[in-house]
Structure 1
Amino acid sequence: MTLSIQFVKASDFGVKPDTGKDSTEAVRNAIRHCKENGIRRIVFEQGRYDFKHSSFIEQYDLLMKHGAQLDLGQSTEQKVIAFQLEEMEEFEWDGGFSQFVFHGLVQPFAFIRCRNLKIHRFTMDWEQPLFSIGVVSSADEMSALIDLQEGHLDEGAVPVAALMNVDRYSPYPLIGSIESFSQVDRTEQPSPNRLRLHYENPQRLKPGMQLLLRHILNYRMGILLYECMFVEVQDVTLLYAPGMGIIGHRSEHLSFVRLTVKPGEGRILSTNTDATHFISCKGKIKFADCYFESMGDDAVNVHGFYLKVKKIVDDHTVEVFVDITPQSEKLDFPDVGDHLEIVRSQTLEPYSTNEVAGIQLCPDGTLILQMSRPIPKDLAESDLIANLSRTASLSVKNCTVRNNRARAFLVQTRDVEIENCTFDHCTGTAIHVNCSIYWYESLNVDRVSIKNNQFLECAYGAGTIGKAEAMVVSVEAPEPVVGAHSHIQFIGNVIHGRNGLALRIESAKEVCIEENEFYSTSSIALFDHSYNVVMQNNRFDRDNTQIFVGAGCLEKTIILRDETCKIKKTP
């Protein structure tokens, strides 16, 4: 990317490092100057910058002291953004390898409709992350007393949005074999450093159990890229965010090089939820030489949204809506000219295509789509529509995901390559190839290549799908369908398991599993509702390793050429 050399120094606007003073308004003035004068680059002198605007502290107090509802989709108009940059072209944010430390509760960055954007050379952190760690002192089915060890020790009856079991002294502290969300009805602080939890439903906590308590689950993201094009993020480190780390929504051509998401020193959690999350993007999303550790959810999730048919207006027109809150809290919609795929909601199986000829955005959030061709005569009002034109390709190379809660990569897009990556003690299945009616995340995948990666003892807690350790291919829908996903290659990988199931392949076709090495995996794979599967030239550390073939498979098309495997049929 070539950018203009015209620039300003943040220090010219009174933004000085290492003062401990609030720099929010000074940075906002610098951004405003760049916008008004066509300045293409802002540079920060290396050091620490604190952002503790009164509105950030007020937002924190609303949550922690007054119980305000500020999670995803709640009180969106009240939420605060520190720095919003709109319609900037060929702009560079150069952090000078500085630390940007936020106080209270705030969304740090929003880049809206920017083009040719470079964001680089800074670390984002929080003075006091919104989580605590404690040990269960006593518990029954409906309450527990927690001895707080770090975090918000003496702030009264603070909210608890989610909890999970951890081992803070382990090199892999996140476990998640016991966790709950939105189950703490209320809290009280009977004495300093102690917090009593009262549940809505019975829980399984026991004395001595170490817990991570998240005081909010999914606030706004650290960095939002909304309707941006050609964005480079380089040498950026995220040590904490009270929601997701980075969200790209309706954006195009996004590149991440040496992005690091990890906990700050002495902590066990980085981002509260996903490290990165992409919705209805176009072009290519690329990751190279990135590192992800100890997030509260996935490292990477790429998907669109299924639009739900609400009403058939005429033979060319339908009324639709997104039946879930987008993680960006921004509207998701197709553009005129976008190619669509019409899908059965019971199976997520596509059965027709069309093109958007016109669109009307209604005040209540519904969309009226006019199609270029007649809609299918058997279109049902429960059917779904996926946007083929907003299906970004994904490239992930030379990246590491270590001890995050849940999966590493959630793949719900097409044209995917994941190569030379390491998945180290992820609590869930490392790679999940999927489409889902429950989150309305589209779409069925095609052309996925997973090559030369290492999988190290994953899938022992939260986010384990179908007991699979390295990869699961699935369709989350009420009824199974044969061959929804296609052209999946799993080649040259090394899997060190936990004596469980290495791979689970459901609802797939044209699958190749070849030249992999399997260690400590008692069962290599389970296939169901699939066909045209080839498994050959793999190596195992034990004989008679089991391969399960389900009744939903077209059995004659499941070709297993590894002689040391033992085939077992399942009902």
Structure 2
Amino acid sequence: MKKQATFLGLLACCLLQFASCTGGPAGKTVYNLSDYGIRPDTRENMSPLIEKALQTIRKEHPEGKELTIVLPAGRYDFYPDQAASRTYFVSNHDQPNPKAVGLALEDMDGVTFDGQNAELVFHGRMLPLSLLRSKDCTLKNFSIDFEQPHITQASVIANDPQAGQITLELAPWVQYEISGDSLFVKGEGWRHCPPICIAFEPETRRLVYNSSDVRMVLSKVKDLGNRRILAEGWKNPQLVPGTVLAMRTWYRPAPGIFLSHNTNTTLKNIQVHYAEGMGVLAQVCNNIQLDSFSVCLKGKDDPRYFTTQADATHFSNCKGLIRSENGLYENMMDDAINVHGVYLKVRQRLDDKTVLASFEHAQAYGFDWGFAGDTVQFIRSKTMELLDGTNQIASIRPEDQDSVCGAKVFRIAFAQALPAEVTPEASIGIENLTWTPEVIFAHNTIRHNRARGSLFSTPKKTVVEENLFDYTSGTAILLCGDCNGWYETGACRDILIRHNRFINALTNMFQFTNAVISIYPEIPDLEHQQKYFHSGIVIEDNEFDTFDTPILYAKSVDGLVFRHNTIHQNQAYPPFHWNKHRIMLERVTNATIEDNQFEGGFDPANDVLQQ
């Protein structure tokens, strides 16, 4: 009997081991990373073990068979040493290469990575997770954080604006040194002197009213002991004792999650608590779903006041459907979502069908801009007017180097003859219409962040509904487009903004912050513009709670509807915005403004300015 029990026990163990490597739910192949020596809560470097395990799984995984990779719950630490080394050119980021990557998921189809609520903690400068050249993949149930964030937190202990002296207490986790008279903060493999900061109210964790980006002087400091420093050259009376500062640079080397050249990607139940770039950056991807993906603090007891260095989510040159729902985006240093393409600039016309065209922004180059068969259109950058008609790419290849990776200039041949105006002298941009997505942004909370709430720049159908924009500090929703500075396409043609609630946006002034909803394409020569840039915009059934005046600003729009909205007035802060009109329209035609409820009444003669 004892022998039989022993045999049955051994058989059960073998079956469990077999299931962990070959069989799982619904016939999926399941790999448990604990079988590869990857253990939680050791504080040891998981980078080389993860890289070796993923290489093994890639070799063993049968093509066409679905696969689940399981990482049991717990804390896992990743260091740059012995991590996967990759050269990635990431849109809207700085481009240091190669990058140390914690989990490099590449060339995998039908893969589910299930972190089972694991905490992934990174050290130094790393790109935590990448997914490239993959199809039908799901990432879910884990969080991303860094042991030593590159943003430095400090509290104001005393401030004498008249004397230009401020006393700061650095947060317990901050490592620092004073070299000469300058304060330097540091971590594993990095050191800098931050030039700027964002100020937060200590209780609410909102940005301090009318403070915006606060310039700092850390070149005349004295160490007072007990993590306190005295800094000279500050003359800012808004930084009252208790104010919490997030001191930062403008550097953004890598996002928390990098997606590139994927089809049908799902991110579910993921929390990014910090990254030195975007929370997630997706480029050249087709169909992305975010469900309960959050860039957020670690609850109400988190001692930190900041999350990511830049946007929470960012989508560049994607197509298909971007669906983002049920997310929490808070305390990041830029927008909750930004969706756009990239304009190339015509640099040389080689013949009637061929041009050299280039990426123009220093943070957006080196990746595929288009492919043979894609549909494009041309735009005059000075007036942001489209040339008539479209064209198709017959062939495209990098001109300044052998591969697309790192390229800035492309030789593009088109199927049809080009208009005579497509020359460098005419300052012409090229937009790839094929790589533009539809967007659904719904049931999200955006709060206490710097800059803006959300940006949408796509000609495809966009629905923004049932979101809470809570003290976004700048504009809550921006519809942009720019072929002169950021080179981010393009015109919105079909956008519906409905059933959202906006609470006290515009507590600070940043770029494009003309109203709670700001339709603000960059047009250097608006005076000579004949056509319109945006069109087909409907804003209805929303609720605005505001302490100030401006609700809607629009420029260069043909077809704008603002109806059935309710505007409540409060006294949370003194009004300060330069725009004293509820609705300001600049070169807008076919506008309908009707059936809105304004507390205190609405006088079109005074509350609407049409230029």
Give the TM-score band, short-chain normalised. Answer: 0.7 to 0.9
Are positions 1:393 and 2:438 aligned together? yes
Equivalent residue, structure 1, for 2:22 = none
- Aligned partner (choices 467, 470, 474) of residue 424 of structure 1: 470
User: Alignment partner of 2:110: what SS?
Assistant: strand
1:458 maps to amino acid: A
Equivalent residue, structure 2, for 1:299 = 336
Equivalent residue, structure 1, for 2:38 = 15
- Aligned partner (choices 127, 130, 139) of residue 110 of structure 1: 130
- Aligned partner (choices 43, 49, 53) of residue 76 of structure 2: 49
- Aligned partner (choices 176, 179, 189) of residue 154 of structure 1: 176
Which residues in structure 2 correspond to 1:42-441 (within 5 Å)?
A: 42-54=69-81, 76-134=96-154, 135=156, 147-150=168-171, 151-156=173-178, 157-158=184-185, 159-175=192-208, 177-180=210-213, 190=223, 192=225, 193-194=227-228, 208=240, 210=243, 211-215=245-249, 217-264=251-298, 265-326=302-363, 330-352=366-388, 353-362=390-399, 363=401, 365-381=408-424, 382-414=427-459, 415-436=461-482, 437-441=484-488
Kindly indicate whether the alpha-carbon contact (under 8 Å) linking 1:454 and 1:494 is maintained by their aligned counterparts in 2: yes
User: Alignment partner of 1:50: what SS?
Assistant: strand
Q: How far, CA to CA, are the matches of 1:454 and 1:534 in structure 2?
A: 21
Q: How far, CA to CA, are the matches of 1:176 and 1:440 in structure 2?
A: 31
Kindly indicate whether the alpha-carbon contact (under 8 Å) linking 2:458 and 2:490 is maintained by their aligned counterparts in 1: yes
1:442 maps to amino acid: T
CA separation of 1:160 and 1:203: change in aligned 2, threshold 3 A: farther
Are positions 1:515 and 2:548 aligned together? no
Once the two structures are superposed, residues 35-83 of structure 1 have per-residue CA deviations (whole angstroms, 9 ceiling, x without a partner) of 1111622101111112234368xxxxxxxxxxxxx99765622432222
Query: Normalised by the size of structure 2, how large is the TM-score?
Result: 0.81
CA separation of 1:216 and 1:472: change in aligned 2, threshold 3 A: closer
Deviation at 1:136, TM superposition (A): 7.8
Are positions 1:443 and 2:443 aligned together? no
Kindly indicate whether the alpha-carbon contact (under 8 Å) linking 1:438 and 1:477 is maintained by their aligned counterparts in 2: no
Kindly indicate whether the alpha-carbon contact (under 8 Å) linking 1:523 and 1:547 is maintained by their aligned counterparts in 2: no
Q: How far, CA to CA, are the matches of 1:383 and 1:205 in structure 2?
A: 47
- Aligned partner (choices 541, 549, 558) of residue 500 of structure 1: 549
Are positions 1:457 and 2:487 aligned together? no
Deviation at 1:343, TM superposition (A): 0.2
Are positions 1:540 and 2:598 aligned together? yes
Equivalent residue, structure 2, for 1:563 = none
Gaps of 5+ in 1: 57-69, 549-565
RMSD after superposition: 3.0
Kindly indicate whether the alpha-carbon contact (under 8 Å) linking 1:233 and 1:256 is maintained by their aligned counterparts in 2: yes
Query: Normalised by the size of structure 1, how large is the TM-score?
Result: 0.87
Deviation at 1:547, TM superposition (A): 4.2
Kindly indicate whether the alpha-carbon contact (under 8 Å) linking 2:448 and 2:470 is maintained by their aligned counterparts in 1: yes
Once the two structures are superposed, residues 524-571 of structure 1 have per-residue CA deviations (whole angstroms, 9 ceiling, x without a partner) of 31112010011111112112x2447xxxxxxxxxxxxxxxxx565566
Q: How far, CA to CA, are the matches of 1:377 and 1:195 in structure 2?
A: 63
Equivalent residue, structure 1, for 2:584 = 526
Kindly indicate whether the alpha-carbon contact (under 8 Å) linking 1:139 and 1:207 is maintained by their aligned counterparts in 2: no
Once the two structures are superposed, residues 94-134 of structure 1 have per-residue CA deviations (whole angstroms, 9 ceiling, x without a partner) of 00111111122211111111111100011111222122223
Kindly indicate whether the alpha-carbon contact (under 8 Å) linking 1:160 and 1:213 is maintained by their aligned counterparts in 2: no
User: Alignment partner of 1:221: what SS?
Assistant: coil
User: Alignment partner of 1:35: what SS?
Assistant: helix
Q: How far, CA to CA, are the matches of 1:152 and 1:72 in structure 2?
A: 27
Q: How far, CA to CA, are the matches of 1:198 and 1:304 in structure 2?
A: 44
Q: How far, CA to CA, are the matches of 1:271 and 1:225 in structure 2?
A: 17
Gaps of 5+ in 2: 1-24, 84-89, 179-183, 186-191, 402-406, 571-579
Deviation at 1:367, TM superposition (A): 0.4
User: Alignment partner of 2:287: what SS?
Assistant: strand
Q: How far, CA to CA, are the matches of 2:232 and 2:411 in structure 1?
A: 45
Q: How far, CA to CA, are the matches of 2:263 and 2:372 in structure 1?
A: 18
Kindly indicate whether the alpha-carbon contact (under 8 Å) linking 1:116 and 1:230 is maintained by their aligned counterparts in 2: yes
CA separation of 1:171 and 1:244: change in aligned 2, threshold 3 A: same
Q: How far, CA to CA, are the matches of 1:503 and 1:81 in structure 2?
A: 43
Q: How far, CA to CA, are the matches of 1:72 and 1:411 in structure 2?
A: 15
CA separation of 1:338 and 1:108: change in aligned 2, threshold 3 A: same
CA separation of 1:162 and 1:80: change in aligned 2, threshold 3 A: farther
Q: How far, CA to CA, are the matches of 2:252 and 2:114 in structure 1?
A: 28
Are positions 1:485 and 2:525 aligned together? no
Q: How far, CA to CA, are the matches of 1:318 and 1:198 in structure 2?
A: 54
1:246 maps to amino acid: V
Q: How far, CA to CA, are the matches of 2:496 and 2:334 in structure 1?
A: 23
Q: How far, CA to CA, are the matches of 2:215 and 2:351 in structure 1?
A: 42
Q: How far, CA to CA, are the matches of 1:88 and 1:489 in structure 2?
A: 40
Identity of aligned residues (%): 24
Q: How far, CA to CA, are the matches of 1:130 and 1:355 in structure 2?
A: 44
